[in-house]
Structure 1
Amino acid sequence: MTRHEEMPFLDFRWGVERETHRMLPDGQLSPEPHPAALRPGPFTRDFAETMLEIVTDPLPSIGRVMGELEGLTREARAAVHPERLWPFSMPPRLPEDAGIPVAALGRRAVLYRQGLALRHGKARQMISGVHLNTSFGPAMEGWLAGHTPLGAGEDSFQLRLARNLYGDLAWFSILFGASPVTAEGGPLAVSHRNGPRGYARAGFLPFLDLTSTKAYLDGIRRGLGTVSPEFTALGLVRDGRVLQLNGNVFQTEKEFYAPIRLRQAARAGESGLQALSRRGAGYLELRFLDVDPFTPTGVSEDGLRLMHLFILDGLARPTEPRPTAVLGEDLDRAARAARMDPRALDPALAGGLGTRLDELERWALALDGLEPGGRHLRALDGYRARVARPSLLPSARLAALFEASGMDWTAFGLHIANQFPKGVSHALDYAGV
């Protein structure tokens, strides 16, 4: 028997995609092209030429994926030096749109990004986040089939997991929200990134359907085939220059900005939708994590271990079909949580989140029985302590530190970036900032 056959709760693959920006030491976006020293695969660009994306392989343990992410972060810092890597989700002070070149990734990719800029503005596209990709293997699926088999309204365990995680979105806003401030000022929020200033866009909602995997695919295809009067009115061609790929709701499937997406690895010549249609969901892409400013890697090992607990719990709880209207309620709750002042968390909401975290303790104990060190219960206890004292939650801590600094947002971000050690073997302690 393999290790995972004996211990199915560890039969997972984990991958991380972390976005950041290359910054000059004076706080300006780098004018330089993407460095050739950043090898393809682990390093690419997202929306803008300055917007570096660090991508790990899918790996069989959280410890290993964190180790790879730390190594890639060290490599990136060395390759861009003397530039800095921006440490927050919300971008620094930005130039006018003309001063933000989109990523030079090929003609179609450039046109797609030009379309995003036309539709949503470049500033919104410059918001950074962390995506967690998670899948599970046959041992975990076998355990689920024996203990909580699929019900009549469930066609895969991946679909079940997606449904349950949508129900937890408001909790994720509070636990992982770390974007309280924007360079333009305005009110504080738990997560501007997951609120109206960021990716809480209603445009994808009419096309989001989790009643079945087929319904999910059909919804995205409807968006790809539905003409948007709003986007069409922006124009498709101006003075002989193409402005966007098309005037539809989604130019491509990538514009389906749902916070949780069913995915399947595409083979040569396949689109993501074709892969998903032919072989079903292979993994989930979780897109709701803000960049964690308290660690150089942008995501903490404790955060990933907490997500492991939510994922185990979500896989084990059978679901009913979750239509668009119900998903809209999930998204509304999450957006309301994201908009809250992080210094004034509703006590009733904090109490509900505390109860939800208590429900995960059995999974932490089960995992700690399989791996030495008690790391999962320790991670869970750390988050329970933060919820019990909300000033310790990442968004409230970051807001307090920023206000105490007396700096503007860009200067504060550079100050924090300069504090990160060149070796990223441990998280930075912000207590002395």
Structure 2
Amino acid sequence: MFKQLMNSVKSNLEALGDDARLIQDVSMGLEREGLRVDQQGKLSQAPHPIALGSALTNANITTDFAENLLEFVTNVYHSPEDLYQALDEIQAFTAENLGDELVWPDSMPPLIDNVDEIPIAQYGSSNAAKMKTLYRTGLSHRYGKMMQSIAGIHFNFSLSDEFFVALQKATKNEQSLTDFKSDRYLHLMRSVSRFGFLVPYFFGASPLMPKSFLSGNNNDRFEKFDDETVYIKESTSLRLSDIGYSNNKCKFTVSFNSLKDYVADIEHAILTPCDKVSHIPIKKDGEYQQINNHILQIENEYYASIRPKQVLKSGETLLAALKDRGIGYVELRSVDIMPTISTGISVETIRFLQAFMTTCLLTNADPLCNMEYEQNQRNLALIAAKGRTKDLSLNVQYQEQPLQELLQSLLEWIKPVAEILGPEYSATIAPLSAMITDSNLTPSAKILNELASSSIQYNDYCIEKATQYKNHYLTEEVLSDEKREAFKMLAHKSVERQKALEAEPQADFDEYLSNYFKSI
């Protein structure tokens, strides 16, 4: 299997010749979530700070599910260093405008006594704002608020049109450029489906969680870690395990074999009622409880570790954009927040993810059937929950193989691409190789070992880290005066933009919803 993978990457790189350098022409972005908490680690009940702008219209600082769940969104950058700096600056500006509040530094939430501490995000009175809040209301009824309090990092990735033109010419492909790009991104997605378990193994950082998160579910798998916290000894990422994000209500399939099939499958899920959520009224006492009773309310509800994306025009849905302009970039969603780093992700991790995604795109990936896709999902969940188990094996492409051998082969597969990207990329390989032979070197094990060897409880550990990062941003002058003023102006303009939207005539909300789905 890996000989075939290596040969396909080698073949495409050799066909590119001198143009292989074009794999360096990358565009990347990050989306990092983080809960606002007080000095004791309790979820903030204050509204989204006005100094950060409008959560509806600020492109860099918004909210995710909850009013207290911040989301930092970078612009597009072309190097890991610039991307890291951009995220660092967004978080610095946020820290300066949170008063006494902190940003929780972990993917799993703090101790939550009552789900009412997780208020659904509010975006204003415009129809677009109401739609965002309603979608989240539906999620709360379908999956519960506790699951929605989990935070993570999404890594957005694309290569330049110049690269795709060169690869298309080198491989004598006669498709349109739009179709060729979409097909290569689908090759990437199929490879991530098969081999994406390496992300939680190498970068998983959520091996424990507050016991309040369980709410009586799957208790027998968890052991007590401290008075407030439970864990699974060999876990790497509880966020990615079956306790975390998943479409676990209505069964449906999504193809990664063609863009036409992918769009058709998502459309089917959006337009097809599901008896598992039909008990939730669409309206109750005149108030919407969910957008609809379908498998998915909208495209965003499809929780996959990798998704195709396209830059949207005003008022455009993702499916319409994919149909019109193909896949513009892909979003990797399986990255945990690293609690030992102020930004939640390191430059080295960004470099490795870039090399991994590039390798996946250059690999000619066989079609992926539903049975194999489901096995790949089981592999991801197994690594998330039990990834550091000794002598663990996975079934990959219908072959049972030892995890250590799989991971070592995957690093060998990525090495040629890392070498072209530069020595800083090649340097990311050796530390990961060491984690294969000694799982105690993985981030998840390090966190557990650090806590076990100290007297501090996990909740206090996270508060200590959050306070440390807050002080860092307030004292280290991460922001230049010019950049600070730019963020202030962006926040101000976003508030004005929200006001302008709300001043526009608004159609009846029922009509607005109906028109939204006409484009599907």
TM-score, reference length from structure 1: 0.90
Moved more, 416-425 or 335-344: 416-425
Q: How does 1:20-419 map to 2 (within 5 A)?
A: 20-39=34-53, 40-105=58-123, 106-148=129-171, 156-184=183-211, 185-188=230-233, 189-203=235-249, 206-340=252-386, 342=388, 344=390, 346=392, 348-368=402-422, 374-419=423-468
C-alpha displacement of 1:424:
8.9
CA contact 1:205–1:328 (8 Å) conserved in 2: no
Q: Distance in 2 between matches of 1:149 and 1:211?
A: 21
Shift of the 180–150 alpha-carbon distance from structure 1 to 2, 3 Å rule, reads farther
Partner of 1:430: none
Shift of the 414–248 alpha-carbon distance from structure 1 to 2, 3 Å rule, reads same
Structure 2 unaligned residues grouped into runs of 5+? 1-17, 124-128, 212-229, 394-401, 479-520
C-alpha displacement of 1:352:
2.0
Q: Distance in 2 between matches of 1:128 and 1:405?
A: 26
Matched residue of 2:45: which SS?
A: coil
Paired letter, 1:401: E
Moved more, 183-192 or 336-345: 336-345
Paired letter, 1:81: G
Q: Distance in 2 between matches of 1:345 and 1:36?
A: 52
CA contact 2:168–2:174 (8 Å) conserved in 1: no
Q: How does 1:414-433 map to 2 (within 5 A)?
A: 414-420=463-469, 421-422=472-473, 423=476
Moved more, 390-399 or 93-102: 93-102
Matched residue of 1:360: which SS?
A: helix
Paired letter, 1:35: P
CA contact 2:198–2:407 (8 Å) conserved in 1: yes
Q: Distance in 1 between matches of 2:351 and 2:231?
A: 33
Q: Distance in 1 between matches of 2:414 and 2:117?
A: 47
Paired letter, 1:351: E
Paired letter, 2:407: L
C-alpha displacement of 1:345:
6.9
1:199-239 Cα deviation digits (max 9, x unpaired)? 24445762311120000000100100111111111322333
What is the root-mean-square deviation in Å for CA atoms of aligned residues? 2.3
Partner of 2:24: 10
Structure 1 unaligned residues grouped into runs of 5+? 369-373, 426-433
Matched residue of 1:108: which SS?
A: helix
CA contact 2:232–2:386 (8 Å) conserved in 1: no
Q: Distance in 2 between matches of 1:93 and 1:424?
A: 32
CA contact 1:9–1:367 (8 Å) conserved in 2: yes
Q: Distance in 2 between matches of 1:66 and 1:151?
A: 38
Paired letter, 2:378: D
Moved more, 343-352 or 134-143: 343-352
Moved more, 139-148 or 328-337: 139-148
1:304-341 Cα deviation digits (max 9, x unpaired)? 11112112211211122223222111111111111106
Moved more, 282-291 or 314-323: 314-323
CA contact 2:269–2:295 (8 Å) conserved in 1: yes
Shift of the 144–68 alpha-carbon distance from structure 1 to 2, 3 Å rule, reads same
Percent identity over the alignment? 28
Moved more, 63-72 or 236-245: 236-245
1:177-205 Cα deviation digits (max 9, x unpaired)? 11100101243421111111102444576
Paired letter, 1:28: K
Count of matched residue pairs: 417
CA contact 2:19–2:166 (8 Å) conserved in 1: no
Matched residue of 2:267: which SS?
A: helix
Shift of the 318–294 alpha-carbon distance from structure 1 to 2, 3 Å rule, reads same
Shift of the 287–31 alpha-carbon distance from structure 1 to 2, 3 Å rule, reads same
Matched residue of 2:294: which SS?
A: coil
1:342-373 Cα deviation digits (max 9, x unpaired)? 475738312321221122222222111xxxxx
CA contact 1:54–1:72 (8 Å) conserved in 2: yes
Paired letter, 1:140: F
Paired letter, 1:248: H
CA contact 1:150–1:318 (8 Å) conserved in 2: no
